[in-house]
């Protein structure tokens, strides 16, 4: 009964103290596509990704009811740095959904107008006002929406008449800055920080340099496919700490419970706190702030033997090694020559095989559909020359001559013509370790990719279009693996099906180097239309600095170089977060996201037919 009454009281006091409207909440996941399009349309940096912001303690004054209920201590501040635009994961500040949605749109406009380095801790208020004034001047359509938001935000803010003098002065300055952007140079000093301003972006938290946080002598790195996902998708802040030495003067060097007493001895199970099989993900779910320290020891969560390079006797057969490729450094805005080393590989022990039984029926259906695209012979009538007479043209000329009409003597023969499809296609499949994850109870991502390549080979075998199949993975810039599955001049037979069946996931996704080498292969083809189909399941990633904005920008530059060579790239991905970065890489019509990975085998040949129909 006591717990029941306590639960009722907790729900009552929390609901009474919370100043939000959950029934009108708008979530960032529902605004993701709109946010990316609007941010780039307003002139924002197209390389920035949109991500949810972490909740942090703001330290502002709260009402007595909020203090009793322990609510309102934290707020998710919108922020921007040189890689990410962070917005609240959910906005429920106003009682109407339209107002909460308008607040998202205004924060996106602010993020597009603010310079990347314009939110320093000493000038962020002035920078927000300058961005607001610039946005209202460049886009007058925002004026009425901004005015409504200011009135709604001011109505939710604390009354200056009920605040101490110093906090009241700061609150009045904030209201003036919102009403007249650019009129306040700085806020008056106060003992407490003001309540969060929902219409402004805050300075971004200091990012942790991953290269500094990793010990240089660690032999095993975190695998790309070994990530764990927080079920709540809640953002958390991180802080740098020194690694504890494991020594504590208050701890006994032995377990006190191991001391036996002659009076009483009870055999009991040890508590959960001493269980050796702790769940780190469950422990992290209870933390608001995660501390990060540098350690020279390996942990079980980082060790993955798949990342060790196999010996030459068990590795794939190298066909050519030491192929040097450039890489784009977006921070220096410089293309570094000969930065990557690529090795061309053939699968070892790939025995020829037939098509799997579960693909026989869809392969038969696709062959029938794609046979309509096969180049066929057709006879052209009334030609000036040809191997046979055109009987219809001859009869028509004889009738015209007998009736006294003019006779067309330019034609009278049949000519046979064969219309060829002047195109080729290269399929580049991501074979990184992340493809080892399961998408269903029976299939992994790599299994879906194998089925897709099998069906794609069967479909294009019916058209006669030249195509090649390749895969890629990487382990730092000096070991990029490029797997040859099928060259353009090889027939799609049992030997190629065996190579597809021998594909194995491993390592990371340095996609820029794979695209550059695939472009070199396509540049040697004589066809006029050169299609590059990229199959991927996530962002560019490698164990060194190749991640985040660096990997995105290098991939973008490699795609631009491919277009200059006459190659048409198109990406097929199962990454649910691809909407945030794929438009920047491939353009609005250069990619497709499959929500169900199992659809890839059937969709890939049909996508090829659509891309080559013109």
**What's the pLDDT tens digit per position in 269-296?**
444 444 444 555 555 555 555 555 555 5
Mean pLDDT of 89-99: 91
Q: Which helix (H) or strand (E) holds 447?
A: helix 445-463
Same domain as 519, residue 394: no
Side-chain half-sphere exposure of 204, counting CA atoms within 13 A: 20
Same domain as 350, residue 467: yes
Same domain as 169, residue 75: yes
- The larger pLDDT score, comparing residue 118 to residue 99, is at 99
**Which of these three, 185, 203, 221, is where a domain ends?**
203
Same domain as 383, residue 356: no
DSSP string, 525-572: ---SEEEEEEEESS--B-SSS-SHHHHHHHHHHHHHHHHHTTEEEEEE
Between CA 352 and CA 47 the distance in angstroms is: 44
Same domain as 556, residue 450: yes
Same domain as 183, residue 126: yes
3-state secondary structure of 32: helix
Same domain as 149, residue 115: yes
- The larger pLDDT score, comparing residue 290 to residue 182, is at 182
Is 571 within a domain? yes
Same domain as 517, residue 382: no
Q: What is the pLDDT of residues 206-250, one digit of tens each?
A: 444 443 334 333 333 434 444 444 444 555 555 555 555 555 554
3-state secondary structure of 570: strand
464: CB partners within 8 A, 6+ apart: 374, 375, 421
Q: What's the total number of domains in the chain?
A: 3
Relative to beta strand 84-87, strand 79-80 is antiparallel
Using 50, 70 and 90 to split pLDDT, how confident is the model at 203? confident
3-state secondary structure of 116: coil
Does the pLDDT value for residue 449 go beyond 70?
Answer: yes
**Which of these three, 153, 186, 203, is where a domain ends?**
203
Q: What is the pLDDT of residues 574-606, one digit of tens each?
A: 887 788 788 889 988 899 999 888 899 989 998
Mean pLDDT of 469-478: 94
3-state secondary structure of 370: helix
Is 490 within a domain? yes
Is 446 within a domain? yes
Q: How buried is residue 472: exposed, middle or buried, by Cβ count under 10 Å (0-12/13-18/19+)?
A: buried
Tell me how far CA of residue 153 lies from CA of 341, 369, 534, in angstroms.
Answer: 55, 59, 46
Does the pLDDT value for residue 5 go beyond 60?
Answer: yes
- The larger pLDDT score, comparing residue 297 to residue 303, is at 297
Total residue length of the chain: 614
Contact 187, 170 (CB under 8 A): yes
**pTM of structure:** 0.70
Per cent of the chain over pLDDT 90 is: 36
Q: What is the pLDDT of residues 7-45, one digit of tens each?
A: 787 777 777 777 788 889 999 888 877 887 888 888 888
Same domain as 466, residue 387: no
Q: What is the pLDDT of residue 547?
A: 87
Q: Which residues constitute the domain of residue 582?
A: 343-371+421-612
**Which of these three, 203, 235, 262, is where a domain ends?**
203
Is 325 within a domain? no
Mean pLDDT of 72-93: 86
Between CA 426 and CA 468 the distance in angstroms is: 5
CA 221 from chain centre, in angstroms, equals: 21
Is 439 within a domain? yes
Contact 119, 22 (CB under 8 A): no
Using 50, 70 and 90 to split pLDDT, how confident is the model at 119? low
89: CB partners within 8 A, 6+ apart: 27, 28, 29, 52, 53, 76, 233, 234, 235
Same domain as 402, residue 480: no
Does the pLDDT value for residue 93 go beyond 70?
Answer: yes
Q: What are phi and psi of 575, to 5 degrees?
A: -75, 115
Is 288 within a domain? no
Same domain as 412, residue 497: no
Same domain as 384, residue 500: no
| CATH number of residue 563's parent domain | 3.40.50.410
């Amino acid at each position: 009964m006591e717990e029941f009454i306590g639960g009722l009281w907790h729900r009552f006091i929390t609901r009474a103290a919370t100043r939000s409207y959950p029934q009108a909440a708008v979530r960032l996941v529902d605004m993701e596509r709109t946010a990316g399009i609007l941010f780039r349309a307003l002139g924002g940096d197209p390389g920035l990704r949109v991500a949810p912001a972490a909740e942090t303690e703001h330290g502002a004054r709260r009402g007595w009811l909020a203090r009793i209920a322990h609510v309102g201590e934290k707020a998710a501040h919108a922020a921007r740095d040189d890689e990410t635009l962070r917005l609240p994961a959910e906005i429920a500040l106003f009682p109407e959904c339209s107002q909460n949605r308008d607040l998202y749109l205004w924060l996106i406009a602010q993020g597009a107008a603010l310079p990347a380095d314009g939110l320093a801790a000493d000038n962020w208020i002035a920078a927000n006002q300058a961005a607001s004034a610039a946005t209202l001047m460049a886009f007058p359509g925002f004026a009425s929406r901004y005015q409504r938001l200011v009135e709604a935000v001011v109505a939710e803010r604390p009354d200056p008449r009920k605040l101490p003098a110093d906090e009241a002065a700061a609150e009045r300055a904030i209201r003036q800055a919102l009403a007249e952007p650019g009129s306040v140079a700085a806020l008056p000093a106060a003992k407490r920080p003001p309540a969060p301003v929902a219409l402004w972006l805050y300075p971004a938290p200091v990012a942790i340099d991953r290269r500094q946080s990793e010990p240089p002598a660690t032999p095993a790195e975190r695998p790309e496919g070994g990530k764990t996902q927080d079920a709540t998708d809640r953002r958390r802040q991180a802080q740098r700490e020194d690694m504890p030495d494991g020594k504590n003067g208050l701890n006994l060097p032995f377990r006190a419970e191991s001391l036996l007493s002659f009076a009483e001895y009870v055999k009991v199970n040890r508590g959960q706190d001493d269980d050796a099989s702790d769940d780190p993900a469950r422990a992290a779910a209870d933390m608001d702030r995660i501390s990060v320290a540098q350690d020279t020891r390996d942990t079980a969560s980082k060790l993955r033997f798949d990342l060790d390079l196999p010996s030459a006797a068990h590795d794939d057969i190298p066909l050519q090694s030491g192929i040097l490729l450039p890489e784009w450094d977006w921070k220096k805005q410089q293309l570094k020559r000969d930065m990557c080393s690529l090795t061309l590989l053939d699968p070892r022990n790939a025995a020829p095989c037939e098509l799997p039984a579960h693909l026989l029926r869809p392969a038969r259906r696709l062959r029938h559909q794609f046979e309509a695209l096969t180049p066929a012979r057709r006879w052209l009538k009334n030609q000036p020359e040809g191997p046979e007479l055109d009987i219809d043209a001859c009869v028509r000329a004889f009738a015209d001559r007998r009736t006294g009409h003019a006779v067309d003597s330019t034609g009278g023969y049949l000519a046979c013509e064969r219309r060829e499809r002047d195109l080729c296609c290269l399929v580049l499949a991501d074979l990184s370790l992340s493809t080892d994850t399961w998408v269903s109870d029976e299939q992994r991502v790599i299994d879906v990719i194998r089925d897709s390549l099998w069906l794609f080979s069967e479909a294009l075998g019916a058209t006669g279009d030249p195509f090649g199949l390749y895969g890629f993975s990487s382990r730092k810039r000096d070991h990029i693996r490029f797997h040859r599955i099928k060259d353009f001049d090889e027939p799609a037979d049992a030997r190629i099906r065996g190579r597809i069946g021998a594909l194995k996931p491993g390592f990371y996704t340095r996609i820029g180097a794979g695209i550059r080498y695939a472009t070199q292969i396509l540049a040697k083809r004589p066809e006029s239309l050169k299609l590059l189909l990229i199959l991927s399941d996530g962002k560019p990633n490698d164990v060194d600095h190749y991640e985040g904005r660096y990997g995105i920008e290098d991939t973008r530059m490699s795609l631009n170089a491919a277009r200059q060579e006459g190659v048409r790239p198109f990406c097929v991905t199962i990454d649910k977060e691809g909407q945030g970065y794929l438009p920047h890489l491939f353009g609005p019509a250069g990619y497709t996201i499959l929500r169900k990975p199992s659809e890839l085998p059937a969709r890939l040949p049909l996508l090829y037919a659509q891309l080559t129909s013109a």
